[in-house]
Chain A
Amino acid sequence: DAGITQSPRYKITETGRQVTLMCHQTWSHSYMFWYRQDLGHGLRLIYYSAAADITDKGEVPDGYVVSRSKTENFPLTLESATRSQTSVYFCASSSGGANEQFFGPGTRLTVL
């Protein structure tokens, strides 16, 4: 089915472990985004990508790494997870310009 998917939907990990959250979209959108959602903060942009092999930092990039080797995929890696990275992570995509962002269902990550 067309759309934007995220995997896993739920993840529990331990402090210090590496975790990768996957995001896949089937619209061939140029832009892709990673946000984290925390109570009282709304959504905060972690990283975004304007096209394959082009990524840039958002508001809260520390502790995260992204890559975009293919247009349709935009994985987010926590190289050494910390408790402060416990959050709900949303991936989004857009065709850019004045167009809306389309959001995935989210991944709930718990770091113990």
Chain B
Amino acid sequence: AQSVTQPDIHITVSEGASLELRCNYSYGATPYLFWYVQSPGQGLQLLLKYFSGDTLVQGIKGFEAEFKRSQSSFNLRKPSVHWSDAAEYFCAVDLDNYGQNFVFGPGTRLSVLP
């Protein structure tokens, strides 16, 4: 069955440190890939998306993600974390590339130490 895994349930980093959140998917073809962020008590906001082309994509708030086909991964990175980045991060896969069939990972909660 198609699935999206985020191996890290909770990550804590110090402010100013670099960040990498992992995402792996299990799917035969290359789906559309997304990262969303959810601040406490809020809905989800899109950080970035990958459809095709350059495997390194830039998003909002200084985030980037790299698609690696050989590893079925789409890891999210940020070179220097800010306290306001503390939130829940979700990787999502659009299985049919028509925008109808999203599968979300379980999420990674990011805590930022001052």
Binding site for B on A (CB under 8 A): 31, 33, 35, 40-45, 48, 50, 90, 92, 94-106
Of chain A, the residue at the smallest CB distance from B49 is A100
Q: How far is the CA of A35 from the CA of B97 in the complex (A)?
A: 19
For the A-B complex with A43-B90, A44-B104 known, give 15 more contacts whose Cβ atoms are closer than 8 Å: A40-B106, A43-B104, A45-B102, A90-B43, A96-B98, A98-B99, A99-B99, A101-B99, A101-B102, A103-B36, A103-B43, A103-B45, A105-B43, A106-B42, A106-B43
Given the interface pairs A41-B106, A42-B105, the reply to whether A100 lies near B43 with Cβ below 8 Å is: no
Contact of B43 among A31, A48, A104 (CB under 8 A): A104
Q: How far is the CA of A96 from the CA of B43 in the complex (A)?
A: 19
**Cβ of B63 under 8 Å from chain A:** no
Given the interface pairs A31-B99, A96-B98, the reply to whether A90 lies near B106 with Cβ below 8 Å is: no
Contact of B42 among A45, A50, A100, A105 (CB under 8 A): A105
Q: How far is the CA of A99 from the CA of B97 in the complex (A)?
A: 9
Contacts of B97 in A (CB 8 A): 98
Offer 19 A-B interface pairs, CB within 8 angstroms, sorted by A: A31-B99, A31-B100, A33-B102, A42-B104, A42-B106, A43-B102, A43-B104, A44-B104, A90-B44, A96-B98, A96-B99, A98-B97, A100-B34, A101-B102, A103-B43, A103-B45, A105-B41, A105-B43, A106-B42
Contacts of B46 in A (CB 8 A): 100-102
Contact with A along B76-114 (1 / 0, CB 8 A): 000000000000001000100111111011110000000
